[in-house]
Structure 1
């Protein structure tokens, strides 16, 4: 995984874990790789992964079964989507709308591009 300088690594790892859930690679109530396994896989310090797990536990996206490991919370998909939607609407959408306005792009013009993107990336 390549990390960006614009965001803390533990937050990027949280995004990675959430993406695995949203892409159905990790199912609700399924055990995720251990802190050590994720640290090796992502080439980061285990303390960084632990910080990520603490954050995701607070958001009830994962839960810890003592001595067994971390598991995807049953409502994780719903919580991740809501959190990501709120973040997208407040942080990214204003910039997109500004660009659309300045370039005189109508929302309807974007639909074919969105459909093409979905077909090529998620089917």
Structure 2
């Protein structure tokens, strides 16, 4: 995780998003312990209160669980992790479609363009 953050969104949400993406990519595994608040703060170059807020947000979402005296761990709830994957996919699609519509593209143009793109890049998905 690099400490470069955007000004458009609170840092704790950006940090939360990064952790969620690491989980989806398999960089963080179910049941794995996250760094302590202080360690994550040093690594991310943010205030420990920001990391604590990030961990609280992830716990509220059911993505992590705090075990008293042990730390914060990625949930092992496969259904919750699948829901996270679906949610992030839908958010990404919504962002893409909204951007295309703002540029004046209609649904059929978006679908055609997406199909063309995916057909050109089929080989790269089968690694």
Q: 2: distance between equivalents of 1:33 and 1:118?
A: 37
CA offset at residue 80 of structure 1? 1.8
Q: Which residue of 2 aligns with 1:58?
A: 60
Q: 2: distance between equivalents of 1:5 and 1:83?
A: 24
Query: Alpha carbons of 1:117 and 1:67: their partners in 2 closer, same or farther (altered >3 Å)?
Result: farther
CA RMSD, Structure 1 to Structure 2 (Å): 2.8
Q: Map 1:12-31 onto structure 2 (within 5 A).
A: 12-31=14-33
Unaligned runs of 5+ in 1: none
Please list every run of at least 4 consecutive aligned residues from structure 1 whose deviation after the TM superposition is greater than 6 angstroms: none
TM-score, length of structure 2 as denominator length: 0.78
Q: 2: distance between equivalents of 1:60 and 1:15?
A: 14
Counterpart secondary structure, 1:32: coil
Q: Does 1:116 align with 2:121?
A: yes
Unaligned runs of 5+ in 2: none
Q: 2: distance between equivalents of 1:118 and 1:26?
A: 27
CA offset at residue 39 of structure 1? 0.6
CA distances 1:70-109 after superposition (whole Å, capped 9, x unpaired): 100113521322332343455553232443616x844233
Q: Which residue of 1 aligns with 2:100?
A: 96
Q: Does 1:4 align with 2:9?
A: no
CA contact (8 A) 2:34 2:73 kept: yes
Give the count of matched residue pairs. 121
